[in-house]
Amino acid sequence: MQAPRPRPQSCSSGGSYRDTYFSSSTDMTTDFDRFTWKQKPVTGPEFYDRSLLSKKFALVGVFISACFSVGCIVCSAEIFLSKNAISAGVVVVPLTRWWQRELVSLGLNLLVATCTEATGFVHAIALRSALSAERRLRFNTNLRLLTAASSIFGPNGTLCNALMSILLIVSYSSSILVTLSVNMKEANDALEDDNSPTQALCVSDVPLLVLGITLLLQVIIAILGMIYADIQTWSSSAFDITAALVHHAQVVPIHGRCMRGVKDADMEGPIHPRVVQPSAWSAHP
């Protein structure tokens, strides 16, 4: 008795597939086609991993980054309006032990690094998808801030990439200046207060405001790039990316080029595996 034909399944929340288990040409709507209303041609079976778990973690990280950036902006306004400020926009946190002050600074830096990594991952995936749609994806790992799509003013274009580079530098620089350990001994001597701590942690409102704005702008650019890019897979594996490009007819396999790399784009015929692989620098055109 012949087994029944398997039913096509969809991994996309808003997608529709027809005959995806077979090699005939099909039409497909991807995750973000509800924004563009464009149908993409596909061919062959869909055997690659969309890595939706990575997508969920990335979106959670972007959400946390957005909440943290808004919290930094609100806290900077609270510090500016606080009556307990020792000077314009500076409040003192009574942390007398050195490890408490270092722990606060370390936690802030780790949180900023997590937020920038989350937005950077989404921006890198969106840029990779934009380059693959333009037939310009030559490497699996691209220099995210030095490679841009053809659109200058788009979320994956040259202007936004340059802005992301500046925002990344400013976010790390401002996070260092948010908390400073200050020696309060001279101020205590002037006030003749021997019970006051000699070391304290000062929090400034201007670096905190700059940090919140830079993180929020990174989140906005990453979300816009994710919306406007046609993301087929969130996986970082070269095998899944190649399979996705072949399935969506964005790359065509060329027979007779076994073991040929990107450097050998103009050469024909298969070759034996090299004993020593060339450097990554020599692979760039």
Residue 174 main-chain phi, psi, to 5 deg: -70, -30
Tokens of 121: 């991952």
* Percent residues over pLDDT 70 in the chain: 71
How much is the mean pLDDT over the chain? 76
Cβ-based neighbour number of residue 82 at 10 Å:
12
Task: State the average pLDDT over residues 135-164.
Answer: 79
How buried is 211 (Cβ within 10 angstroms: 0-12 exposed, 13-18 middle, 19+ buried)? buried
* Per-residue confidence (pLDDT) for residue 218, from 0 to 100: 95
Nearest to 100 by CA among 203, 200, 172, 174: 200
- How many CA within 13 A on the CB side of residue 164? 32
Name the 3-class secondary structure at 171: helix
Q: Where residue 45 falls among pLDDT bands split at 50, 70, 90?
A: low
Residue 28, H or E segment: strand 26-28
Cα–Cα distances (Å) from 269 to 112, 259, 260, 278, in that order, read 49, 9, 8, 19
Angle 98-101-107 from CA coordinates, rounded to 5°: 135
Pairing status of strand 40-42 against strand 26-28: antiparallel
Least confident of 4-8, 79-83, 103-107, 269-273: 4-8
Here the contacts of 80-84 (C-beta below 8 Å, separation 24 or greater) are: 80/205
Cα 50 from Cα 31, distance rounded (Å): 10
Higher pLDDT, 90 or 122: 122
- pLDDT tens-place string over residues 210-240: 999 999 999 999 999 998 888 888 888 777 7
pLDDT at 72 over 90: yes
pLDDT at 23 over 50: no
- Residues with Cβ within 8 Å of residue 252, at least 6 apart in sequence: 246
Rounded to whole angstroms, the Cα distance separating 134 from 36 reads: 16
**So what's the pLDDT on residue 118?**
94
The arithmetic mean of pLDDT across residues 37-57, rounded, is: 70
pLDDT tens per residue across span 26-44 = 333 344 343 343 455 555 5
Residue type, 74: V
Instruction: Please state the separation of Cα 55 from the chain's center in Å.
Output: 11
Question: Residue 169: is its pLDDT beyond 90?
Answer: yes
> Is the pTM here over 0.75, yes or no?
no
Q: Taking 60 as the threshold, does the pLDDT of residue 155 lie above it?
A: yes
